[in-house]
A and B are shown apart, each in its own frame.
Chain A
Amino acid sequence: MLSLTLQALFSGVLAGGYYAMVAVGLALVFGTMRIINLAHGELVLLAAYVAYAAESQYGLNPVMAIPFALVIVGASAALVYALLSRIDQDREINSLILTFGLGIILTNAVLMIWAADIHSTTAPWFQESVVVADTLFAMRSEVVFFVGGLVLMAGVHGWLNHSWQGRAVRALSSNRNAAKLMGVNPRRTEILSFLVAALLATFAGIAIYTGKTIFPSLGHVMTVKAFIITVLAGMGSIPGVLIGAVMIGCIESLTVTYVSASLQELAGMILFLVVLFVMPSGLFGGRKAIAR
């Protein structure tokens, strides 16, 4: 019983790693533009399918597909930003409608090109079992991308706290008008946030393709999950988002282990509602901030 619980928690922590990569991207864009990019999960989807196409059609290792995925996902993120930046009235509601529509278009484009089948990597290296601390099992992909994701998020955290562009992101996130009157160029900062979000989405997409299964509606699932995690954490800090993601991963994993796999999504949603009922600003909320 104890080892089963520990194994479930370990799997949950690993899943939390890639959930966090998606959620940090969503939070970053929300912080700088005050909009919720409902097409963010579709960027993850796109990265996953680029890896699938590269492997199935050209025999490329999914990791080798990362540069191609980065270019395609980065260009898509830039396109989403270009369309969003043209909205000059009622930006909050119009951006929701626009990104929701773009998400549907991207999902259907994937469906049209690759059909509705479920895919996963065929490279055995990623799916081989590794043993951690003698008793805990995981796929190699899960461990590799969990560690890689942590390094990536630490890099983003460092960028936000120690680079000038990162400080510009935090300034815009803290107070948009005040930041602009301090000389911060909002467009340059916003596009940079979108590209960093695209970078995280790309790694998350490749992680999911190599460690889980992909299907066209995955984008929508990831957007909802990232939104839940971001709100759960309090729309703010990267460490907070990581903890929120791990909590969601663990509750889902425990539900799959002890209750039913069909209730996995419901468990995360219940945790989300309970936390918001008890702590309306989220676990680490209170002030709008990115990083720290």
Chain B
Amino acid sequence: MLTLDGVQVSFGGVSALKGVSMTVAAGETVGLVGPNGAGKTTLFNVISGIVRPTAGNITFRGQSVLKAPEWKRARMGIGRSFQIARPLHHCTVRENLIVAQRFGAGRIDHQRIDEILDLLKLGHKADRDAVSELALTEHKALEVGKALATDPHLLLLDEVLAGLETNGKRAFMEQLALVRDRFNLAMVVIEHDIPTISALCPRVVVLNFGEIIAEGPPAAVFRNPEVVRSYTGEAAA
């Protein structure tokens, strides 16, 4: 579904991504991990079109998306959530989803909106005055909901579980798994919490200094000495 081929990004003289190549299959959930500054969010920015790569190619569902601006990529089926929630202020939760659906999917389907609200447990807050009243978990759910409303085939979730306590993380992760299965989505999830990412993602890709240093099943990857050194900062066992 998604193929990155030798993607490079430079900001001035600094290389943020150094020839990243990876694939995500339809319906697959991939964890993207790495220490701060590894290039995880930059990779999301490149896939979603916010940042243009200096070299390399990105194909989505068989088409190169390099020249497509971010709003076209959203309409092609690449959904994205941000680490810091970016709702439309002064709009209700439902209005946020409807705007995303109208522009991202090009249609209004109230049944799907209701379904998203139910899956993300936002139904009781759907028509409250403004999103500024939401709790942290609800803000996170809204971020996912806005992306889901655009009818994506691929969902990029940037530290959507960050800041939640253990039980909250577990509950939210279960919701994400339900959402993925219900809408048959491919997902790429950036997350620092190893137990969480191991439970959610059958495959993990590790970035460090803009390069992929390991990928594979979580159990094997998190035992990789290079990953241990780069990601946790601890010496290899």
Contact = CB atoms under 8 A, between A and B. Distances in A.
Interface of A: 164, 167-168, 170-171, 174-175, 177-186, 287-289, 292
B156 to A, nearest CB: 9
A183 B82 contact: no
Interface in B39-57: 48-50
Contacts of B147: 181
Interface stretch (B67-75, B111-119, B187-195, B220-228): B67-75
A182 B148 CA distance: 10
Given A164-B102, A168-B103, A183 B89 contact: no
A292 B92 CA distance: 12
Contacts of B69: 180
25 contacts: A170-B90, A170-B91, A174-B87, A174-B89, A174-B90, A177-B70, A177-B82, A177-B86, A178-B87, A178-B88, A180-B71, A181-B50, A181-B71, A181-B74, A182-B100, A182-B103, A182-B146, A183-B71, A183-B74, A183-B100, A183-B104, A183-B105, A183-B106, A184-B103, A287-B89
Contacts, number: 76
Given A182-B74, A186-B71, A171 B86 contact: no
- The 7 A-B pairs at the shortest CB distance, nearest first, are namely A183-B104, A183-B103, A178-B86, A182-B100, A183-B74, A175-B86, A180-B70
B26 to A, nearest CB: 21
Given A181-B80, A182-B146, A174 B88 contact: yes
Interface in B79-99: 79-80, 82, 86-91, 95, 99
A27 to B, nearest CB: 15
Given A170-B88, A170-B90, A174-B88, A181 B99 contact: no
Given A167-B99, A186-B71, A181 B88 contact: no
B150 interface: yes
Nearest to B78: A181
B86 A184 contact: no
Nearest to A185: B71
A183 B150 contact: yes
Range for the number of chain B residues in contact with chain A: 20 to 34
A177 B146 CA distance: 13
A292 B90 contact: yes
Contacts of A184: 71, 99, 103
Given A180-B71, A183-B150, A287 B90 contact: yes
A59 to B, nearest CB: 48
A157 B76 CA distance: 32
A177 B103 contact: no
Contacts of B71: 180-186
A8 to B, nearest CB: 35
Contacts of B70: 177, 180-181
Given A170-B91, A181-B147, 4 more contacts: A174-B87, A174-B91, A181-B70, A182-B149
A280 to B, nearest CB: 19
A175 B88 contact: yes
Interface string B168-182: 000000000000000
**Residue of B75, B86, B105, B132 most packed against chain A (CB within 10 A):** B86
Nearest to B150: A183
**Residue of A167, A178, A185 most packed against chain B (CB within 10 A):** A178
B90 A171 contact: no
B159 to A, nearest CB: 16
A71 B212 CA distance: 56
A250 B102 CA distance: 43
